[in-house]
């Protein structure tokens, strides 16, 4: 049953020009960044040749590419998640799901997986760029895999938060803005850690979405980072289920 909801979410994305536009725009921007990164690599290559234990192309090209992808998608994901529930609420199609033999959890997870599937597709397209480097060199596959995992977890976290924001309102725009605001805030939480007290700043930095991603980009696979994202996702999915339930129950 979850898959039916997910499938329908994915298909409806591709029925409108939205999915295609987003795929095209993201690909174009990241391709430009990818090329400028290659150019940079070409410039410093002579110097790298003289260094001992010099960073490889994975570190110089792939890590920044994935870092940039995360920032670009921070802007894009709210647009994908904004209509998930709010639009159905506004068009009163939610009752179709509510009166079908489905639990709230199935609805929420279905919608979440639908968007995650789309983002995975987008990630595959982004991944094609570093893979194209294989024609002229070798890649550090361990690091690439860790970066991919990081991006996937990060995007899923964005989606879970976006889904929750969408369940709060009937206006997709409001859902998009709140998601974007919340994500950005979580992203820059660690900015204060440099100037603020070490202890308080540490907690803030730990909560920041970007810290855990950076570790994974460097190829450091730390289970604490993975658990952080999984907890983040689970929290917002559970909150969404509870929010939908609250729609029905008498307050």
Partner 1 sequence: MRYNYAPMNSLLQVEQLSRSFGAVTAVADVSFTVERGEILGFLGPNGAGKSTTMKMLSGNLAPGAGQILVDGFDLLDQPCQAKACIGYLPEQPPVYRELTVDEYLDYCARLNRIERARIKDAVAMAKERCGLTSVGRRLIGNLSKGYQQRVGIAQAIIHVPALVILDEPTVGLDPIQIREIRALIRELGQEHSVILSTHILPEVQAVCDRVQIIDKGALVYSDTIAGLDQRMQSSSILLAMHKPPAEQVLLSIAGVLSVDAVSDEHYRIHFDPQCNPAQQLVEASVSGNWCLYELVPERMSLEQVFVDITCTDHAHAEEPKELAE
Rounded-to-5 percentages of helix, strand, coil across the chain:
85, 0, 15
> By CB under 8 A, which span of 67-75, 93-101, 136-144, 194-202 interacts with partner 1?
93-101
| Cα–Cα dist 59/65, whole Å | 10
195 is a site residue for partner 1 (CB under 8 A): no
Q: Which of 102, 139, 207, 238 binds partner 1 (CB under 8 A)?
A: 102
* Binding status of residue 99 toward partner 1 by CB under 8 A: yes
The footprint of partner 1 on residues 9-38 (CB under 8 A) is 12, 15-16
Four-residue CA torsion sign, 46, 49, 50, 56: positive
1 binds partner 1 (CB under 8 A): yes
Is 4 a binding residue for partner 1 by CB under 8 A? The answer is yes
Contact yes or no for 179/242 (Cβ under 8 A):
no
Which residue among 21, 45, 95, 173 contacts partner 1 (CB under 8 A)? 95
Count other Cβ atoms within 10 Å, centred on residue 139: 16
Q: Is 91 one of the binding residues for partner 1 (CB under 8 A)?
A: yes
User: Where does 57-204 show beta strands of DSSP type E?
Assistant: none
**Which residues contact partner 1 by CB under 8 A?**
1, 4-5, 8, 12, 15-16, 91-103, 248-251
């Amino acid at each position: 049953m979850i898959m039916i909801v997910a499938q329908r979410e994915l298909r409806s994305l591709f029925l409108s020009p939205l999915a295609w536009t987003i795929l095209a725009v993201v690909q174009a921007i990241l391709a430009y960044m990818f090329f400028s990164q290659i150019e940079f690599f070409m410039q410093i290559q002579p110097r790298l040749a003289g260094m001992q234990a010099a960073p490889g192309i994975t570190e110089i090209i792939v890590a920044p590419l994935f870092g940039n992808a995360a920032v670009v998608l921070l802007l894009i994901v709210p647009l994908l998640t904004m209509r998930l529930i709010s639009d159905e609420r506004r068009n009163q199609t939610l009752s179709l799901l509510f009166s079908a033999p489905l639990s709230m959890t199935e609805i929420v997870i279905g919608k979440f997986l639908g968007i995650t599937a789309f983002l995975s597709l987008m990630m595959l397209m982004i991944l094609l760029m570093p893979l194209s480097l294989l024609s002229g060199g070798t890649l550090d596959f361990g690091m690439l895999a860790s970066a991919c995992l990081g991006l996937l977890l990060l995007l899923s976290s964005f989606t879970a938060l976006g889904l929750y924001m969408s369940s709060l309102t009937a206006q997709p725009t409001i859902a998009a803005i709140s998601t974007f605001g919340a994500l950005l805030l979580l992203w820059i939480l660690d900015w204060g850690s440099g100037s603020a007290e070490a202890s308080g700043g540490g907690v803030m930095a730990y909560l920041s979405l970007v810290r855990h991603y950076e570790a994974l980009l460097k190829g450091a696979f730390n289970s604490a980072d993975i658990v952080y994202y999984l907890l983040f996702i689970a929290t917002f999915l559970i909150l969404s289920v509870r929010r939908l339930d609250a729609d029905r129950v008498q307050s």
